[in-house]
């Protein structure tokens, strides 16, 4: 299983790094929105992915908005991560983006 979390413009802006879109198509790919940092805090936004993932060990598995369908997190089952890896969709955070804590997060599916 392989999960990928993006939290900043690093590697997706065209100016920094490589978006690696072919690899992202093979992962359980999630875009986390880090509105609790401003746009000049790209380093903090970039580093937030690791902390968010680790903190999610202590939270319930997040869900897709208005469903009971699991989104990706450290506590998401391997079976669900496998399903997300084989999907043509990515997950995009739509709630909980103004707080660092993962327990208020929900997600939507979007085209990759």
Tell me the whole-structure pTM to 2 decimals: 0.88
Mean pLDDT within 46-69: 95
105 closest CA partner among 5, 2, 1: 5
Domain ranges in the chain?
3-111
Phi, psi of 12, rounded to the nearest 5 degrees? -130, 0
- Is residue 86 pLDDT above 80, yes or no? yes
Tens digits of residue pLDDT in 14-42: 555 566 778 788 899 999 999 999 989 98
Tens digits of residue pLDDT in 89-101: 999 999 999 999 9
């Amino acid at each position: 299983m392989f999960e990928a979390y993006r939290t900043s413009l690093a590697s997706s802006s065209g100016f920094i790094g490589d978006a690696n879109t072919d690899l992202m198509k093979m992962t359980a790919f999630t875009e986390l929105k880090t509105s609790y940092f401003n746009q000049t805090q790209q380093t903090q936004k970039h580093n937030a992915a690791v902390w968010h993932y680790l903190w999610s060990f202590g939270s319930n598995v997040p869900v897709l908005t208005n469903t009971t369908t699991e989104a990706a997190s450290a506590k998401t089952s391997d079976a669900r991560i496998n399903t997300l890896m084989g999907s043509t969709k990515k997950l995009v955070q739509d709630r909980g983006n103004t707080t660092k804590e993962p327990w208020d997060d929900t997600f939507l599916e979007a085209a990759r």
